Structure 1
Amino acid sequence: MQQQSKKYHLQQTIKLSIPLVISQLTVMMIGVVDTIMAGRLGTIPLAAVSIGGAIWAIGVMFVLGILMATPPLISELDGAGNKAKIAALVRQLLWLALIIGVIFFIILRNLSPLFSLFGTRLEVVPYAIEYLHAISWGILSFPIFLVFRYVADGLSHTRMTMYISFLGLALNIPFNYVLMFGKLGFPALGVAGCGYASALVILIQATVFGLVLAKHRWFKPLHIFVQIDRIDRQTIAKVLAIGLPIGMALFAEGGFFSVVTMLASQLSPETIAAHQISLNVASVLFMVPLGMSMAITIRVGNALGRKSATDTRRAGMMGIALIFVVQIFLAGFIFSFPGLIVKLYTRD
């Protein structure tokens, strides 16, 4: 078997990374847009979106991590030339996504005691609960969207993810405007409108991605939707064996920042808002290495499928080196332009 050079691995990792990084940044930009537009409602609504968004982020990161098992599994089957098994795997992943979505929907709608536990300021709590109840509808379709997205990513068609992420951002801004401020005959829902807009965007993205997998020439031969399979506990257990550790790791990382946000909720709305801006910037920049890491797992999974230990090692090491260089650059950017970044969020 012909081995691939380090230069080739680097080129392919960059090629896959660019759409994935853009996709991750686009997803985070939706949060940035929510934050900026909530700021136009006032300091207290901005603080509420900050706190609600922090809680939402914990769930999102956990779900994201669990289903991040998908790209390497798909790419391994692809690398081994065993595409016939991909459809069966995807159907099991959709069962898992449905279960995860229902569980987190129930959790997000029953978090009121959490605010008392962390001593959140009373004037902020009703707005935060409104936001969580509204955006909780999005968690039902979010895992399904991730499965569709990760299937495309695992097959190295990462541009499709980028296009649909752009669609989400393009829709989020007008949806926010209409639902938050009461335009086109809709009532002004404030922070709840922000949550409903995000939930609606996620549903549309999942629907569009499903249609793409069913109809596009890249994915139609897989025949993903030709039948409904029974739940295969063994397959789901295999996915969870890979995904749960990733989910727990992302949960711990994201949870730390979210807990800090909840602790900060005892402070003034201005302080909460300032914390949200800092956290938002850090979260956006975190999406860069996260997107790159997804590209690396695809490359490694493909090499594993081809049973090439050398290429597996090279794909991993070149990816790690690339992320290291990019992170140094991003750290320098934050250090050099703090004032400019803050001005993007607020005039205060």
Structure 2
Amino acid sequence: MNLQQYTSEFRYNLKLAAPVMLGMLGHTFVSFIDNIMVGQLGTAELAAVSLGNSFMFIAMSLGIGFSTAITPLIAEADSSNNFEQAKSTFKHGLFLCTMMGIILFLLVFFSKPLMYLMKQPVEVVELAIPYLDLVAFSLIPMIVFQGFKQFSDGMSMTRYPMYATLIANVLNVLLNYLLIYGKFGFPKLGIVGAAYGTLLARFVMVLYLWWLLSKKERSKRLVTNIKFFVLDTLMLRKIIDLGTPSAMQMFFEVGIFTAAIWLSGLLGKNPQAANQIALNLSSMTFMVATGLSVASMIRVGNQKGLENYKELRRIAFSIFFLGTILAVIFATIFFVFHKSLPNLYVDLSDAKNYTDNMEVMKIAANLLIAAAIFQISDSIQVVMLGALRGLQDVKIPTLITFISYWVVGFPISFFLGTKETYSSFGIWLGLLAGLTTASILLFIRFNKLTLQLIKTKHNELT
């Protein structure tokens, strides 16, 4: 095997993926700052943000997963210079994302009583409910933003969502500082202040990205003069048919991580807070892999439009190799610093909560060892999913993700995650098993599908 045919693509792949990575890392970094700020208030507050966000993760997974249908359709239209198809895809995608945001907000808002039925610590639930009220409403601008972002990614204009995300993140951190702690005359709102910061920043994010796209010659004619309610049933159905399985793929994966939060809550507030620390740190490295997944979706979508399947396969494998290299680096960092990284989240000078904080740090350190191991599996599965979405192959991958996370992963988390067995570490062993199964099966699926496409194309030409 000639490695250079794959490594030669690294620079362009990183150029395309880097803005997505930075934008998503920026978003996750704000969550990181949120957790550090809230962690200074106490372990109950940190657990409450974790519990409230667990509902948000499920809703966001459905909305973001659904919106990914826009990217391969736009990439295919862009590579074949089909202006009408591109504009129609954007309009119908944005309409569906707006409707999705409203529905998800209502679902989360009215699901709050479930917290009391889930046997979570009462102290944590009472803190989480007012936080969730505001953050749930931010789902509307968040999913609308995803419609714009997926369009931008499909056009290979990945820098503009990054700019919008970074500006919104700076605003979010500033508002959090002012409103959580009540600085410079602002009211001291605790974790509710963090929710206000998130809500306002997400509205700014949408408006800024739309403004950027409406000023650029390449995208201006696609995102302006849109007849929003003049809709084509066939295009709506095409996006729904592609978006629904993609939403379910993300839902199945995010769902098992959310289940880990709830299972941790059954163990108590300290295991739940520790789970939040490990989850927050591992989500930052996952955003790098997600950036490569978007690059994979764009480039595979382009090559699909050109029907150049050999090149498609070569490009996808180059991204796969790059993702694996980066995952090994992150795994090493997590393993080497697994004891020191949790220190960032707790205030060891707080005498009142010292015992709780020490327990949280000890549990989180163990979880980071599991997180180090599953870095590679996580990177492979998300890059392969991106490549398969670029091929517009979504139904079989949806079945694969369901089997991996809920037939393999969740039962292991459930049975090994009790106080009598391995507690929090047992929960994360289930996550590791699910991600590893998904990475193997998705790789096999992509390998088989691309070989079939190459063979079919060859037969047509001979």
Give the structure-1-normalised TM-score. Answer: 0.93
Q: For 1:223 and 1:249, how far apart are their aligned partners in 2? A: 28
**2:279 counterpart of 1:279:** yes
Q: Distance in 1 between matches of 2:306 and 2:11?
A: 19
Higher gyration radius (CA): 2
Q: Distance in 2 between matches of 1:59 and 1:77?
A: 29
Pairwise CA RMSD: 1.8
Partner of 1:258: 258
Alpha-carbon distance in 2 for matches of 1:18, 1:347: 33
- Could you tell me whether the CA contact under 8 Å between 1:121 and 1:267 is conserved in 2? no
Structure 1: gaps (5+ residues) = none
Name the structure 2 match of 1:245: 245
Aligned to 1:68: 68
Preserved contact between residue 40 and residue 347 of structure 2 (Cα < 8 Å): no
2:164–2:209 CA contact under 8 A, matched in 1: yes
2:315: which partner in 1?
A: 315
Show structure 2 runs of 5+ residues with no match: 349-462
Residue matched to 1:48: 48
Shift of 1:203: 0.9
Q: Which residue of 1 aligns with 2:356?
A: none
Distance (Å, rounded) in 2 between the aligned partners of 1:77 and 1:224: 18
The residue number in structure 1 matching 2:217 is 217
Contact 2:160 2:213 in 1 (8 A): no
| Correspondence 1:29-48 to 2 at 5 A | 29-48=29-48
Distance, in Å, in 2 between the alignment partners of 1:250 and 1:264 is 21
1:291 paired residue number: 291
Q: Secondary structure at the match of 2:221?
A: helix
- Matched ranges for 1:112-151 at <5 A: 112-151=112-151
Q: Deviations over 1:10-66 (max 9, x none)?
A: 432221111111111111112112111111222211110011112211211221111
SS at match of 1:189: coil
Letter in 1 for 2:34: D
1:82 alignment counterpart: 82
Deviation at residue 229 of structure 1 after TM alignment: 4.1
Deviations 1:305-324 (A, max 9, x none): 22222222222222222212
Q: Distance in 2 between matches of 1:88 and 1:229?
A: 12
Aligned-pair distance for 1:128?
A: 0.7
Query: What SS does structure 2 have at the residue aligned with 1:41?
Result: coil
1:206 alignment partner in structure 2: 206
d(CA) in 2 for partners of 1:323 and 1:84? 35
Distance, in Å, in 2 between the alignment partners of 1:223 and 1:46 is 40
**Letter of the structure 2 residue corresponding to residue 178 of structure 1:** L
Q: Answer whether contact 1:52 1:128 (CA < 8 A) is retained.
A: yes
Which amino acid letter does the alignment assign opposite residue 281 of structure 2?
V
Where relative contact order (Cα < 8 A, 6+ residues apart) is larger, the structure is 1
The aligned amino acid for 2:289 is P
Name the counterpart of 2:96. 96
Segment of structure 1 superposing worse, 123-132 or 243-252 = 243-252
Match of 2:355 in 1: none
1:337 alignment counterpart:
337
Counterpart in the other structure of 2:230: 230
Contact 2:87 2:223 in 1 (8 A): yes
Residue 265 of structure 1 aligns to a residue in which SS?
A: helix
Please state if 1:155 is matched with 2:155: yes
Whole-angstrom CA distance in 2 between matches of 1:190 and 1:254: 27
Matching residue of 2:360: none
Secondary structure class of the residue paired with 1:112:
coil
**What is the distance in 1 between the residues matched to 2:211 and 2:188?**
32
Instruction: Give the corresponding residue for 2:173.
Output: 173
- Quick check: 2:100–2:143 contact (8 Å CA) kept in 1? yes
Cα distance between partner residues in 2 of 1:274 and 1:301: 40
| Greater mean deviation of Cα atoms: 227-236 or 37-46 | 227-236
CA-to-aligned-CA distance 1:168-212 (integer Å, 9 cap, x gap): 221111111222223454432221121121111111100111111
Deviation (angstroms), 1:139: 0.4
CA distance in 2, matches of 1:91, 1:127: 39
In the alignment, the residues of structure 2 paired with residue 88 and residue 46 of structure 1 have an alpha-carbon distance, to the nearest angstrom, of 43
1:201-237 Cα distance to aligned partner (Å, 9 max, x none): 1111001111112222332133534433423332122
Q: AA paired with 1:118? A: M
The more displaced of 209-218 and 132-141 is 209-218
Spell out, residue by residue over 1:251-298, the C-alpha distance to the aligned partner (whole angstroms, 9 max, x if none).
Answer: 111111111211222333322211210111111211111111011100
- Do the aligned residues in 2 keep the contact of 1:214 with 1:225 (CA within 8 Å)? no
Deviation by residue 1:60-100 (Cα, 9 ceiling, x = unmatched):
12211111111111111110111332222111111101110
Q: What residue identity is the alignment partner of 1:181?
A: Y
Q: Is the 8 A contact 2:91 2:226 kept in 1?
A: no
**Matched residues in 2 for 1:313 and 1:284: separation?**
28
Q: Deviations over 1:137-179 (max 9, x none)?
A: 1101111101111111111111112222211221111111222
Partners of 2:46 and 2:61 in 1: CA distance: 22
Instruction: Supply the distance in 2 between the matched residues of 1:232 and 1:184 (Cα, whole angstroms).
Output: 52
Pair 1:270-2:270 in alignment: yes
**2:449 aligns to what?**
none
Preserved contact between residue 88 and residue 235 of structure 2 (Cα < 8 Å): no
Query: Could you tell me whether the CA contact under 8 Å between 2:180 and 2:190 is conserved in 1?
Result: yes
